[in-house]
Structure 1
């Protein structure tokens, strides 16, 4: 197999991490691969650090002729057998490049958003484009929302999120976060790692924190990530009088070191395709309270590997947090089950094998 992986994304989130997992796992299993991405991003940094076979191009629009030409050039020069597309704008660019230059190399689109795609003629058309042979969805929730737009449902399949157990090896506290933040050693840390965007619903996180602050005097809250709503959430925290209880750490490269410092991972996202960060919590043996929404129940088994709550219901979240923190045996049961569930279903090795099977099936067909 000679593979082109392509993304026009400028951010670093779970999907971009998944690209790294795929590249690493595929490297010894296929003949040749190339990554095309945008420059000056965390993904391009990793590609350079690990000596990937990669090329970069500034992204300006999904109708950028330079991108279309570059895609055609790579497909021809690298003799690509199949194109694995990782975001919607790259999907558009690939379809238009195929039309303009006439290449028929089969495409596979790895879809990770819960969002309708039949909102206009062009979007619906590009998802049914004849050279796009397969749409691999990260969860059943993503697949379900695509059904109305896709004519041939056999083109839809599911390959879940993944995490790297070799990266998330630390499962015990060392106190590094307490020391960094100057917090007492007995401080309970409740954390969240997510971009500050609307569907991650940091508002409900803060509302939950307000309830917990009145019941757990020694609990504090850590938010890791960046995004458009960061200042709005900081202002909301101040409005609630919780500034002294919150730490905003921005984007961090040392997440595997910080994760085990959390006493609990509170994930209030209300429209999550899968929640790959929940797998990282499982890997670090941190108990999880998350939303019963989107693809999250496909990752977290309710009352077995974590507790699930109704979206935007701060009281429900607070009750679940207290239930775990006040019951060590329940905590231990959840983290043990979560770790075993992860190993069986969501390691990068397991998931990459599933994606490789999808790509091989497309080439053979």
Structure 2
């Protein structure tokens, strides 16, 4: 069986990392006879796939409705004798459907969906989600399935796969003081952090409001670290300044050393209010960092409340502050949640577990498809 994964994503986030993880797992286990990644040139995933020696086919994307590329895609699928096409973002979804519909692409389509977002907002979107050539829609959580049900008529096409992380990338499981040294933080201060793009649904406002409460209570001796970049970064920086929290909150910017940085946190605080799963939560499990996260979207499918982490009410800084206080001051509870979380990760979200789930779905689709 031969696999082609396609994305037109211009960014590097969890979904793009998943494509690389799947390719690596299938290569290392000789799962597929052959496999390819089709993606836009001059993008992070193109660079990563090329650097890793993967079979990557780059293209210059002009628009979501690039019929010239759709024709090229059908030709690639035919020449490479592809058995199944796995689509990874909205633009790739449209291009693959156009290729299948108008240029008789010779392989079935499977869509990987990670966003909690309504797609029944116009007739064209509904059409492409219900297109007959799409045999399966693989979702990272039940929360994603639930929102797609408004648009997708055949609910049997919807399956839950889960999110993924690679344990081999997160071997460091104890702090060595690197962040204390980098930011000149006294050693007796705890570090409470978050790693997230500065976008609306990550809800950095609740995060900052929680810090304000904790500072006022004076029950936690800590510095608070925000890792990431994004369109709301300056807005959040102004918010921090307005609340006179500049001495407490550190903006660490974009970092490539997450496996080294994450274990430095004494606690991971995640306030996202519409998260499909939260891949960084799995990475926190891997690094054995205790977690307080919002009870939102697919997060409760990753965090088992009071067993692998603590869940707080969405947008409620008081509840977040209470949970952070409780956990940061209770070493026994921390140890219990860390151990349970690590086992939960190994049982459900590793590269081997998730790649096998994908394989079973892709194999079923390929075997049932009549060319």
**TM over 0.5, shorter chain:** yes
> Residue 58 of structure 2 is aligned with which of 56, 61, 80?
56
Q: What residue number does 1:81 align with?
A: 83
Q: What residue number does 2:286 align with?
A: 283
Q: Is the 8 A contact 2:36 2:55 kept in 1?
A: yes
Q: What residue number does 1:115 align with?
A: 117
* Number of aligned residues: 365
Note the alpha carbon deviations across 1:50-92, whole angstroms, 9 max, x for none: 1000022233321123431332232122111100000111101
State the alpha-carbon separation in 1 of the partners of residues 160 and 238 from structure 2.
39
Note the alpha carbon deviations across 1:184-236, whole angstroms, 9 max, x for none: 11121111111111001111111111111222463111111111111111111
Q: What residue number does 2:364 align with?
A: 361
State the alpha-carbon separation in 2 of the partners of residues 217 and 59 from structure 1.
50
Question: Secondary structure at the residue paired with 1:364?
Answer: helix
Give 1:39 deviation, angstroms.
2.5
The yes-or-no answer on 1:98 pairing with 2:100 is yes
Q: What residue number does 1:313 align with?
A: 316
Q: Is the 8 A contact 2:194 2:269 kept in 1?
A: yes
Moved over 4 A (4+): none
Give 1:157 deviation, angstroms.
0.6
Q: Is the 8 A contact 1:10 1:38 kept in 2?
A: yes
Superposed, 1:124-143 pairs within 5 Å as 124-143=126-145
> Residue 239 of structure 2 is aligned with which of 233, 236, 240?
236
Q: What residue number does 1:68 align with?
A: 70
In angstroms, what is the RMSD of aligned CA positions? 1.2
The yes-or-no answer on 1:340 pairing with 2:364 is no
Q: What residue number does 1:203 align with?
A: 205
TM-score by length of 1: 0.98
Q: What residue number does 1:330 align with?
A: 333
State the alpha-carbon separation in 1 of the partners of residues 289 and 220 from structure 2.
21
Q: Is the 8 A contact 2:141 2:298 kept in 1?
A: yes
Question: Secondary structure at the residue paired with 1:270?
Answer: coil
Q: Is the 8 A contact 2:74 2:106 kept in 1?
A: no
Q: Is the 8 A contact 1:279 1:342 kept in 2?
A: yes
TM-score by length of 2: 0.96
Give 1:15 deviation, angstroms.
0.8
Q: Is the 8 A contact 2:276 2:299 kept in 1?
A: yes
> Residue 170 of structure 2 is aligned with which of 164, 168, 171?
168
State the alpha-carbon separation in 1 of the partners of residues 339 and 195 from structure 2.
21
State the alpha-carbon separation in 2 of the partners of residues 59 and 289 from structure 1.
40
State the alpha-carbon separation in 2 of the partners of residues 290 and 191 from structure 1.
12
The yes-or-no answer on 1:40 pairing with 2:29 is no
Q: Is the 8 A contact 1:71 1:97 kept in 2?
A: yes
Q: What residue number does 1:3 align with?
A: 3
Question: Secondary structure at the residue paired with 2:366?
Answer: helix
Q: Is the 8 A contact 1:191 1:223 kept in 2?
A: yes
Gaps of 5+ in 2: none
Q: What residue number does 1:301 align with?
A: 304
Q: 1:217 to 1:346 in 2, by over 3 A?
A: closer
Q: Is the 8 A contact 2:70 2:98 kept in 1?
A: yes
Q: What residue number does 1:153 align with?
A: 155
Question: Secondary structure at the residue paired with 2:166?
Answer: coil
State the alpha-carbon separation in 2 of the partners of residues 277 and 263 from structure 1.
15
